[in-house]
Structure 1
């Protein structure tokens, strides 16, 4: 049992992504029901409502004020589901709020389980989606008040997030979001990345206009802009970002061939320099591609781990079936393939034309391709 003390962080045991917390008799019954169907959750409730099966059900009991439990939950969980009155929750979480980029999603359920309310971090913290899931599990009403969800328009802070898109800077998130929800003229320019980002059954709002180029969008003088591209913008194009955001889709694949024992530092330096030379964004790199005999290459493994990139490798016979502009008998002698970096990128991206066919730098050979739009 967790005995909550004012001067220390509660000693919780996290096993899943979400926490369910209850402090009343009816709330405990509801929490146990939800815990049964919401399997990616840990359950916490007050020890005075102990039923005897808590150890078997892996329920964590606590005594004392629930307010002292929340700081520990905030640090550990992606989302917290509280079967506590909304007013009490607001007062308890206020002192521990930090930033919408790091605070967990907070969802409140009333004691009868009739309403599920998204309270905090609706977008970035995932509370809106969590609210919908919990409401469906309880056959309850989901209450979501964020403007973009209510109006069925683009949530600027989550645009493309399901595809792994990331923004270059969060500086303009608030003013651009305001332009979207206030139905001002907003330009979208997409040069790469997934195209099925509009998920509502209704058409795109008429004030949100898709332009074929940044120059075209600039001429239209929109109030705000969303630009989806893997490349760095020119000085002239940067004017679109006076009230705009650049999103980086994961579309760049990098083929790597290297001598055995090449350091991670050398591999990383070649990648960073090459991406910069191409005027691309490192944030748009999706994968490192190579040959199967390099699947245990320490330097490669360290680089992909550092950046969180996919690591893909192919057998020599697969590489030999791909187009190779500059086949090498020497490479074939040592690997069984007539090329490594170039064919690996062609296979992964499916691109006919590569941004960089092949470049040799020290112990590293690099090729770069972009997944076609």
Structure 2
């Protein structure tokens, strides 16, 4: 895919059909702009082909009919979301994982205080989603069929092997359902690799797009000759063409038919550099006096690739009269994604901890902890001073930090109600009760999921995929 044909990242279009809907659409546009998105004005057909996301404010049936003629598959379609005109519900309609509709819905839901109706099975069951992992890490899914089989296996609570040619960080842990190692013959597995060939089995290859291909050739080199030479070079290096992110050369080749045809065939954007820019690239490069006299710099392919990525895989390599070089970017895959922020509330001894342990066993959360006493103490002290401005500022700051930490760790927060319907005699006790109540409300507004424990029973007050 050429750069011009790719969907524009961070671009979205929004559609509304009533006066109330237009007010909400303006609010959504403003909050997405604040997050770095760009809103465009376009008909649905154009926006579907161009944008990263489409947002409809109105009946979901209208949205479905509008996008129906253009839907292809989840690996190509943009994120499509629908909200009711009161902003009570956010519904990802299309491309929840690969297109990012679920993630965008959660963002909008948090900002509006709306319920998010997630319907994708891996989200609802708290299981590892291979397509989300691929999107977050910029990986090409080699086999859609194997990706579906792996998701189905994980939903059945089966285990899947995971291996990577690129080491994980020391602190990284595999999600529930994955184990480190090669998949046995005929067994399901995931392999993060840029290799052009892997053993044929049930392993799903995920390919990082981290390699830059430097190219140099004589003027009027035949298109077929350069293409076959490039494919042979990649095969010798055992690097998949899907692992390339750019084709690079000197600006003298900007109109070279063979180079442009090769970029089109490999579906790569081209990057052309002047002789001065190439000469400024640091490092040792094999040079040619003929090339220097012709282009003004002694090495084209290697310097052009090095300009795009820092790690040399192979320097100047001659294949059928053309020169190639391969460099790559740093790459470390990660499983870290923003997890749902879960709040578990209720009076003391109502079963909050036991319920949190169950969510851990199910893989929905990685752990849990009580809201630190220091937070409650600080809020209580400010209430005792009767400084409303200072309290609101401290409450907002505390909620932001608690939510951010909980999401990063995948932990649920436990907070016990205090006081019930009785008004405490002591002023400090009344301030503590008020601080806890206000903190519960603020955390509940920020949380993605809220559970209330009473008599050992959990009631979902706010949950992805459910009404509030």
Do both share a fold (TM > 0.5)? Answer: yes
Contact 2:278–2:304 (CA under 8 A) maintained in structure 1: no
Q: How does 1:220-369 map to 2 (within 5 A)?
A: 223-234=187-198, 237-239=199-201, 241=202, 244-295=203-254, 297-306=256-265, 307-313=267-273, 315-319=277-281, 321-324=282-285, 326-346=286-306, 348-351=308-311, 354-355=313-314, 357-362=316-321, 364-369=322-327
What do the CA deviations read for 1:162-213 (whole angstroms, capped 9, x no partner)?
A: 4432122212222111123333211111114x957x9xx99533431233xx
Tell me the SS of whatever aligns to 1:129.
helix
Answering whether residue 183 of structure 2 is matched by residue 218 of structure 1, we say yes
Q: Which residue of 1 aligns with 2:140?
A: 166
C-alpha change, 1:186 and 1:350, in structure 2 (3 Å) is same
**1:330 Cα deviation (Å)?**
3.1
The structure 2 residue matched to 1:189, chosen from 155, 158, 163, is: 163
Cα distance change, pair 24–371 in 1 and its aligned pair in 2 (3 A): closer
Identify if the C-alpha distance between structure 1 residues 140 and 222 changes in structure 2 by more than 3 Å, giving closer, same or farther.
Answer: farther
Runs of 4+ in 1 over 6 A off after TM superposition: 69-73
Gaps of 5+ in 2: 1-9, 332-468
TM-score by length of 1: 0.68
Q: Shift of the alpha carbon at 1:356? A: 6.1
Give deviations 1:282-312, integer Å, cap 9, x for gaps.
1112222334544554542443355123525
| Deviation larger for 300-309 or 180-189 | 300-309
Distance 1:115-1:300 versus aligned 2 partners, 3 A rule: same
Report if aligned partners of 1:153, 1:204 keep a CA contact under 8 Å in 2.
no
The Cα offsets for residues 62-81 of structure 1, whole Å up to 9 and x where unpaired, read as xxxxxxx9788766765332
Deviations 1:237-270 (A, max 9, x none): 322x2xx311111133322222234354433232
Q: Is 1:205 aligned to residue 205 of structure 2?
A: no
Q: Is the 8 A contact 1:292 1:316 kept in 2?
A: no
SS at match of 2:183: helix
Q: Quick check: 2:11–2:51 contact (8 Å CA) kept in 1? A: yes
RMSD between aligned alpha carbons? Answer: 3.8
Q: Of 16, 20, 35, which residue of structure 1 is paired with 2:14?
A: 20
* CA distance in 2 between partners of 1:95 and 1:311 (Å): 37
TM-score (norm 2): 0.56
The count of residues paired between Structure 1 and Structure 2 equals: 314
Contact residue 248 and residue 284 of structure 1 kept, 8 A: yes
1:308 is paired with a residue whose SS is: coil
5+ long unaligned stretches in structure 1: 1-15, 43-57, 61-68, 212-216
Give the distance between the partners of 1:372 and 1:73, measured in 2 at CA: 33
Counterparts of 2:251 and 2:19, CA distance in 1:
58
**Structure 1 residues 175 and 90 mapped into 2: Cα distance closer, same or farther (>3 Å)?**
farther
Bigger Cα Rg: 2
Cα deviation for residue 18 of structure 1 reads 3.5
8 Å CA contact 1:114, 1:140 repeated in 2 = yes
8 Å CA contact retained: 1:187, 1:222: no
Per-residue deviation at 1:115? 2.1
Q: Secondary structure at the match of 1:260?
A: coil
Q: Describe the superposition over 1:79-100 as per-residue Cα deviations: whole angstroms up to 9, x where unpaired.
A: 33233345x4587579655533
Check whether the contact 2:196–2:241 (CA below 8 A) recurs between aligned residues.
Answer: no
